[in-house]
């Protein structure tokens, strides 16, 4: 493998670039205002009490549960990263390489998207009902009574099932971009399937694998809702501890200190991922024509094994969501299982405003956040702008911090004039954009790592300015990243709660708040009905965006261009 | 395009609509199903609209603390006493003695008037009738009943770090064991062996117990009765040694923007008018005003309950220590 290609321009040239320089300044300004400023305010709150103080940290280090929580978090994040990436890779291989009929791919894509759209708490509760001591699957199907799902096992299972679709989406795009002629070459040189897979397919997919591992690990490190319900007291993790410290022990300073502790592993993962992916070149999109041959790169046995793994996963996921659908259509799950449309009637009367508000906010988040994500990814991957690594890391901070802490930091920073943004929809939008754009950025850098910079150089040498090259050459190539980034943003806007519970106001409510309300009112039916609405809306949005994308630019990178296998 | 974006930006930046001068903004920890009817009744009576946001107690205090310099809420209405103790310590509420303050018993209010009890609350045991029958068990009627090995891995109750319900449980055990803290913690360590999971919200165990994932749930009365109202086959019992009577309070936010309207609303809280609503709306809490009515259903339920009075000041001083002991002695393995 050759070393990484030289980026398009030198640092000095980058600074003089009439398009690039203002764009980078704008990115920095946005990140400084909406990420660094709130975090700094919170840091001040944590480590400043009429003078610098480490009191919060000293107290925390002495606590057995926080020490254990740190190790638990690291172990859980690593396991979720590995298990989720493996599962996502299996799904991606099946979808891209198994030459299955097209409808199978579509069905697969449709179902795999489900766990990503897990509205708060409902999925974890469905898991309890499916696999608990008297669970639908564990007890009523397999007759196992007294299964304990609280702890590492349940949390790992739930997080893996929730996050593996991120790995699937990332890896599917990457696998589809691998030029089949490379594998063809391997075969015609006499290599067996396993050798081709090991020496060609996997190495080419390494940026994707690393990215998905990073995304999953970071997602697990930041996830507090799953361990909150499934971790119990036996399995404390840091985000949950931070949440408990603030909301249970009324200790904002301690909670903030714990959250900053989380940034350390997040930074480590980030650096490791960088080091790993930049050592090698994985260019497969070269502008030279690659014949789209149909390669039988998987043996029938391998396909059968993949089908088995994926089918079992799909079955499990389907059970959870059918439980939610069922709960939404009966009077009171378990007590009165007769059909009732009352919960949907509630959604369409009292709940419409929340749905409308959420859609407006999501609709604004998608283009803003999607563009922010790909431009940031491009600047990081393709320019030599000084400080671009720092920018990328700064942009990741809000994602790595637990939602509770981001919500509080935003409140502290944006409650007073001149930046009194609380109470507006704007604060919800920026919270989502700067918290959930990471997926788009990561996918962009992964895709660009596969694209030969000489294509852009050709454009530049033909006299196109950088913005024209970006719009005409780069953007079409990283379209899947833009789409994936926007989809993730939309889903998060429809499902996130931890940060936004502090930012919702009377004029702007959210569906997730209604779901939480349903859970606290013990109205499982209402919570489920809202969850079903969220799932339907997300599907509608995904189908719509893939239709638009297909119309805008049919052809190039077709396979990876949509999320629904079209 | 640019114009559309500008328009969108303007719409998004529209703050909370300019409210009429006397509107009250309330943070509450009570579920909407319990709090909204009461707020609506006030609006119907006075014409003053009440805007409210529901948050868990901890989130409520955290949010109000972060907003300290520019308060967005005027009143905190309906949250457990320990939340108000924390709010007082954080300096986000100010003393206000409502018109009916003198009539409220002294153990139901902060001596300086920072917060006052809206209602009295307590906990009970809620058991899944079907599961009990399968094992041939009677519903527990003593704290010691819960130590029976038949309940191993079958009890769900709240986590002391998040839930006011858990504090009520710890206090109940403390008072039930004659204020002997060592005995109380010995008991809790034994109880821990039978606990399946400590849920993060107080009502978190009701649905799992209702659905048969656990046999017994120790919960606050309103949460348990809410599940029962849904039609689940649940049995409710009280431990004969007694349960702690805890408070749900109200307080004026320091620097409230609609102070006058807010204080009038707090005054109304301590009228028979509002106190009777607890009863009419089946909130399953007891009024704090002596003349507040208690309906037959609540009276029948409470017949078995031995309410143990709680020393608010002692709780305020010892809450953190009790929770720390629970973390370091009861759940540590």
Residues B161 and B69 in one domain: no
CB contacts of A421 in chain B (<8 Å) are: 13
- Name which of B328, B318, B324, B308 is nearest B85 in CA terms: B318
Is pLDDT of A353 > 70?
yes
Residues B53 and B38 in one domain: yes
- Name which of A202, A526, A61, A337 is nearest B210 in CA terms: A337
Interface test with B, best of A44, A133, A152, A248 (most B CBs within 10 A): A248
Q: Is residue B56 assigned to a domain?
A: yes
Contact yes or no for A232 and B197 at CB 8 A: yes
The helix (run of H) or strand (run of E) holding residue A530 is: helix A524-552
Residue B10 — very low, low, confident or very high, per pLDDT cuts 50/70/90?
low
pLDDT digits (tens, 9 = 90+) for A169-185: 878 878 887 777 777 78
* Mean pLDDT, range A289-310, rounded to an integer: 74
CB contacts of B323 in chain A (<8 Å) are: 248-249
**Do residues B230 and A342 lie in contact, with contact meaning Cβ atoms separated by under 8 Å?**
no
Counted across chains A and B, CB pairs separated by less than 8 A come out at 164
Sheet with strand B216-220: strands edge to edge:
B195-199, B155-158, B216-220, B123-128, B234-237
Is pLDDT of A430 > 50?
yes
Contact yes or no for A506 and B16 at CB 8 A: yes
**What per-residue confidence (pLDDT) applies to B125?**
96
Is pLDDT of A558 > 70?
no
- Name which of A405, A417, A385, A436 is nearest A503 in CA terms: A405
CB contacts of A420 in chain B (<8 Å) are: 15, 70
Residues B169 and B111 in one domain: no
Q: What is the least distance, in Å, from the CA of A385 to any CA of chain B?
A: 28
Q: Which of A123-132, A219-228, A411-420, B258-267 has the highest mean pLDDT?
A: B258-267
The dihedral sign for the CA sequence A333, A339, A344, A349:
negative
**What per-residue confidence (pLDDT) applies to A214?**
82
**What per-residue confidence (pLDDT) applies to A5?**
41
Residue A554 — very low, low, confident or very high, per pLDDT cuts 50/70/90?
very low
More confident residue, B179 or B297: B179
* Mean pLDDT, range B23-47, rounded to an integer: 92
Contact yes or no for A247 and B56 at CB 8 A: yes
Q: Is residue B143 assigned to a domain?
A: yes
Is pLDDT of A222 > 50?
yes
Residues B28 and B55 in one domain: yes
Burial class from Cβ neighbours inside 10 Å (0-12, 13-18, 19+) for residue A50 reads: exposed
Residues B117 and B265 in one domain: yes
**What per-residue confidence (pLDDT) applies to A559?**
34
The tokens 């599917």 sit on which residue? A172
Residue of B nearest to A361 (CA): B12
The dihedral sign for the CA sequence A140, A143, A148, A153:
negative
Contact yes or no for B70 and A416 at CB 8 A: yes
- What is A11-46+63-330+339-561's CATH topology? MetI-like fold (1.10.3720)
Domain containing B32 — which CATH number? 3.40.190.10
State how far the Cα of B115 lies from the Cα of A178, in Å rounded to an integer: 66
Q: What is the least distance, in Å, from the CA of B102 to any CA of chain A?
A: 30
Contact yes or no for A411 and B66 at CB 8 A: yes
Is pLDDT of B64 > 50?
yes
Is pLDDT of A150 > 90?
no
CB contacts of A246 in chain B (<8 Å) are: 58, 62
Contact yes or no for A65 and B207 at CB 8 A: no
Is pLDDT of A546 > 80?
no
Q: What is the least distance, in Å, from the CA of A424 to any CA of chain B?
A: 5
**Do residues A135 and A147 lie in contact, with contact meaning Cβ atoms separated by under 8 Å?**
yes
Contact yes or no for A501 and B153 at CB 8 A: no
**What per-residue confidence (pLDDT) applies to A507?**
75
Distances from the Cα of A495 to the Cα of A49, A278, A325, B288, angstroms: 36, 34, 17, 40
Asked, as a colleague might, if the bond just before A418 is cis with ω within 30 of 0, I would say yes
Residues B85 and B114 in one domain: yes
Interface test with A, best of B66, B204, B319, B325 (most A CBs within 10 A): B66
Q: Is residue B9 assigned to a domain?
A: no
CB contacts of B32 in chain A (<8 Å) are: 517, 521
Is pLDDT of B124 > 90?
yes
Q: Is B271 left (phi over 0), alpha (psi -120 to 50) or beta?
A: beta
Residues B149 and B231 in one domain: yes
* Mean pLDDT, range B215-244, rounded to an integer: 92
The dihedral sign for the CA sequence A77, A80, A83, A89:
negative
Please write down the HEC assignment for all residues of B100-111: CHHHCCHHHECC
Q: Is residue B224 assigned to a domain?
A: yes
Question: Of the given ranges (A66-80, A432-446, A496-510), which has the lowest mean pLDDT?
Answer: A496-510
**What per-residue confidence (pLDDT) applies to B155?**
95
Residue of B nearest to A503 (CA): B63
Q: What is the least distance, in Å, from the CA of A232 to any CA of chain B?
A: 6
**ipTM metric:** 0.80
Q: Per residue in A175-188, is it b (16+ CB within 10 Å) or e — as a string? A: bbbbbbbebbebbe
pLDDT digits (tens, 9 = 90+) for B258-302: 999 999 999 999 999 999 999 898 889 999 999 888 888 888 888
Out of B69, B162, B231, the one facing A415 most closely (by C-beta) is B69
Contact yes or no for A125 and B196 at CB 8 A: no
**What per-residue confidence (pLDDT) applies to A564?**
30
The tokens 């034994």 sit on which residue? B190
Residues B180 and B103 in one domain: no
Contact yes or no for B63 and A364 at CB 8 A: no
Is pLDDT of B37 > 70?
yes
Out of A336, A415, A506, the one facing B70 most closely (by C-beta) is A415
Is pLDDT of A68 > 50?
yes
Q: At what angle do helices A479-495 and A524-552 cross, to 10 degrees?
A: 160
> B249 φ, ψ to 5°?
-115, 180
Is pLDDT of B190 > 90?
yes
More confident residue, B269 or A117: B269
**pTM score of the predicted model:** 0.81
**What per-residue confidence (pLDDT) applies to A14?**
67
CB contacts of A416 in chain B (<8 Å) are: 69-70
**What per-residue confidence (pLDDT) applies to A561?**
34
Q: At what angle do helices A388-400 and A252-278 cross, to 10 degrees?
A: 130
Out of A150, A233, A522, the one facing B331 most closely (by C-beta) is A233
More confident residue, B285 or A129: B285
Contact yes or no for A522 and B233 at CB 8 A: no
**What per-residue confidence (pLDDT) applies to B112?**
93
**Do residues A502 and A517 lie in contact, with contact meaning Cβ atoms separated by under 8 Å?**
no
Out of A148, A501, A506, the one facing B55 most closely (by C-beta) is A501
More confident residue, B223 or B200: B223
Q: Which of A132-141, A334-343, A500-509, B273-282 has the highest mean pLDDT?
A: B273-282
Question: Of the given ranges (A100-114, A372-386, B311-325), which has the lowest mean pLDDT?
Answer: A100-114
Residues B86 and B180 in one domain: no
* Mean pLDDT, range A410-427, rounded to an integer: 85
In the predicted model, what is the mean pLDDT of chain A? Answer: 81
Q: Which of A508-512, B35-39, B313-317 has the highest mean pLDDT?
A: B35-39
Out of B15, B69, B212, the one facing A416 most closely (by C-beta) is B69
**What per-residue confidence (pLDDT) applies to A50?**
73
Residues B107 and B128 in one domain: no
Q: What range defines the domain where residue B184 resides?
A: 123-244+308-330
pLDDT digits (tens, 9 = 90+) for A455-479: 888 888 888 888 888 888 888 888 8
CB contacts of A331 in chain B (<8 Å) are: 231
State how far the Cα of B25 lies from the Cα of B258, in Å rounded to an integer: 8
Count up the domains in chain B and report the number.
2
Q: Is residue B298 assigned to a domain?
A: no
Residue A293 — very low, low, confident or very high, per pLDDT cuts 50/70/90?
low
Residue of B nearest to A419 (CA): B13
In the predicted model, what is the mean pLDDT of chain B? Answer: 89
Out of B14, B230, B332, the one facing A335 most closely (by C-beta) is B230
Q: What is the least distance, in Å, from the CA of B165 to any CA of chain A?
A: 12
Pairing outcome for strands B24-28 and B75-80: parallel
Q: What angle do CA B119, B120, B122 make, to 5 degrees?
A: 140
Q: What is the least distance, in Å, from the CA of A502 to any CA of chain B?
A: 6
State how far the Cα of A180 lies from the Cα of A235, in Å rounded to an integer: 45
Contact yes or no for B210 and A335 at CB 8 A: yes
Out of B163, B198, B231, the one facing A332 most closely (by C-beta) is B231
Residue of B nearest to A367 (CA): B5
Out of A334, A422, A521, the one facing B72 most closely (by C-beta) is A422
Interface test with B, best of A124, A249, A252, A525 (most B CBs within 10 A): A249
Both structure tokens of B20? 């009429």
Q: What is the least distance, in Å, from the CA of A218 to any CA of chain B?
A: 23
Q: Is residue B303 assigned to a domain?
A: no
**What per-residue confidence (pLDDT) applies to B207?**
87
**What per-residue confidence (pLDDT) applies to A447?**
80
Is pLDDT of B1 > 70?
no
Out of A125, A150, A501, the one facing B59 most closely (by C-beta) is A501
The residue extents of the domains of chain A are 11-46+63-330+339-561
Residue B3 — very low, low, confident or very high, per pLDDT cuts 50/70/90?
low
Is pLDDT of A364 > 70?
yes
**Do residues B157 and B195 lie in contact, with contact meaning Cβ atoms separated by under 8 Å?**
yes
């Amino acid at each position: 493998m050759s070393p990484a290609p030289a980026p398009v321009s030198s640092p000095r040239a980058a600074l003089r670039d009439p398009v690039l320089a203002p764009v980078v300044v704008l990115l920095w300004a946005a990140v400084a205002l909406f990420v660094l400023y709130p975090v700094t305010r919170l840091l001040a709150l944590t480590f400043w009490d009429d003078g610098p103080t480490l009191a919060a940290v000293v107290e925390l280090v002495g606590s057995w549960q926080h020490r254990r929580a740190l190790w638990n978090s690291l172990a859980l994040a690593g396991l979720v990263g590995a298990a989720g990436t493996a599962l996502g890779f299996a799904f991606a291989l099946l979808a891209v390489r198994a030459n299955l009929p097209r409808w199978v791919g579509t069905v697969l894509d449709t179902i795999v998207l489900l766990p990503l759209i897990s509205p708060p708490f409902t999925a974890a509760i469905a898991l309890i009902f499916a696999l608990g001591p008297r669970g639908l699957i564990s007890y009523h199907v397999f007759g196992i009574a007294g299964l304990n799902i609280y702890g590492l096992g349940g949390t790992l299972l739930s997080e893996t099932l929730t996050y593996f679709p991120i790995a699937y989406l990332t890896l599917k795009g990457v696998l589809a971009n691998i030029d089949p002629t490379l594998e063809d070459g391997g075969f015609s040189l006499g290599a067996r399937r396993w050798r081709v897979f090991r020496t060609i397919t996997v190495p080419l997919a390494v940026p994707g694998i690393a990215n998905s591992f990073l995304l999953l690990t970071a997602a697990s490190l930041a996830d507090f809702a799953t361990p909150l319900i499934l971790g119990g007291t036996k399995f404390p993790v840091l985000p949950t501890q931070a949440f408990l410290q603030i909301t249970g022990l009324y200790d904002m300073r301690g909670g903030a200190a714990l959250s900053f502790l989380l940034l350390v592993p997040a930074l480590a993962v980030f650096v490791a991922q960088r080091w790993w992916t930049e050592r090698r070149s994985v260019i497969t999109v070269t502008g030279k024509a690659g014949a789209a041959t149909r390669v039988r790169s998987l043996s029938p046995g391998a396909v059968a094994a993949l089908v088995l793994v994926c089918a079992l996963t799909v079955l499990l996921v389907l059970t959870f969501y059918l439980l939610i659908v069922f709960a939404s259509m009966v009077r009171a799950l378990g007590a009165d299982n007769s059909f009732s449309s009352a919960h949907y009637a509630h959604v369409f009367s009292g709940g419409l405003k929340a749905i409308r508000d959420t859609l407006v906010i999501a609709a604004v988040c998608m283009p803003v956040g999607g563009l922010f994500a790909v431009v940031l990814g491009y600047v990081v991957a393709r320019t030599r702008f000084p400080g671009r690594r720092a920018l990328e890391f700064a942009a990741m901070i809000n994602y790595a911090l637990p939602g509770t802490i981001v919500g509080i930091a935003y409140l502290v920073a944006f409650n007073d004039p001149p930046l009194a943004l609380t109470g507006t929809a704007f604060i919800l939008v920026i919270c989502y954009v700067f918290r959930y754009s990471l997926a788009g950025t990561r996918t962009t850098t992964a895709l660009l790592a596969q694209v030969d910079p000489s294509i852009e150089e050709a454009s530049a040498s033909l006299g196109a300015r950088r913005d024209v090259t970006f719009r005409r050459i780069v953007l079409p190539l990283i379209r899947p990243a833009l789409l994936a980034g926007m989809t993730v943003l939309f889903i998060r806007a429809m499902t996130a709660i931890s940060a936004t519970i502090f930012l919702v106001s009377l004029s702007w409510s959210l569906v997730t708040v209604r779901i939480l309300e349903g859970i606290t009112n013990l109205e499982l039916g209402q919570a489920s009905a809202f969850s079903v609405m969220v799932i339907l809306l997300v599907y509608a949005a995904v189908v719509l965006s893939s239709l638009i994308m297909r119309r805008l630019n049919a052809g190039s990178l077709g396979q990876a261009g949509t999320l629904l296998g079209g | 395009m640019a114009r559309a974006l500008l328009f969108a930006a303007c719409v998004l930046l529209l703050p909370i609509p300019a409210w009429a001068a006397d509107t009250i903004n309330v943070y509450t920890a009570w579920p909407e199903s319990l709090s909204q009817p009461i707020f609506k009744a006030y609006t119907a009576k006075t014409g003053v609209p009440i805007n409210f946001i529901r948050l868990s107690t901890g989130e409520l205090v955290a949010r109000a603390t972060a907003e300290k310099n520019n308060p967005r809420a005027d009143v905190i209405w309906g949250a457990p006493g320990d939340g108000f103790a924390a709010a007082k310590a954080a300096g986000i509420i100010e003393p206000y003695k409502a018109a009916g303050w003198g009539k409220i018993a002294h153990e139901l209010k902060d001596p300086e008037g920072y917060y006052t009890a809206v209602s009295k609350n307590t906990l009970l045991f809620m058991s899944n009738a079907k599961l009990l029958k399968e094992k041939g068990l009677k519903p527990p009627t003593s704290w010691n009943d819960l130590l029976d090995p038949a309940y191993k891995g079958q009890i769900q109750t709240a986590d002391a770090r998040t839930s006011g319900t858990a504090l009520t449980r710890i206090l109940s055990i403390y008072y039930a064991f004659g204020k002997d803290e060592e005995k109380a913690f010995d008991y809790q360590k034994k109880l821990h062996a039978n606990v399946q999971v400590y849920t993060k919200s107080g009502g978190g165990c009701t649905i799992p117990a209702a659905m048969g994932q656990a046999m017994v749930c120790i919960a606050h009365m309103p949460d348990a009765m809410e599940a029962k109202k849904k039609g689940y086959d649940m049995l409710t019992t009280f431990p004969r040694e007694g349960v702690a009577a805890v408070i749900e309070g109200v307080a004026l936010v320091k620097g409230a923007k609609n102070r006058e309207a807010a204080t009038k609303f707090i005054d109304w809280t301590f009228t028979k008018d509002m106190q009777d609503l607890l009863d009419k709306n089946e909130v399953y809490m007891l009024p704090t005003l002596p003349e507040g009515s208690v309906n037959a259903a609540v009276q029948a339920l409470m017949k078995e309950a031995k309410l143990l009075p709680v020393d608010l000041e002692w709780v305020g001083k010892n809450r953190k220590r009790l929770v720390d002991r629970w973390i370091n002695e009861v759940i540590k393995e």
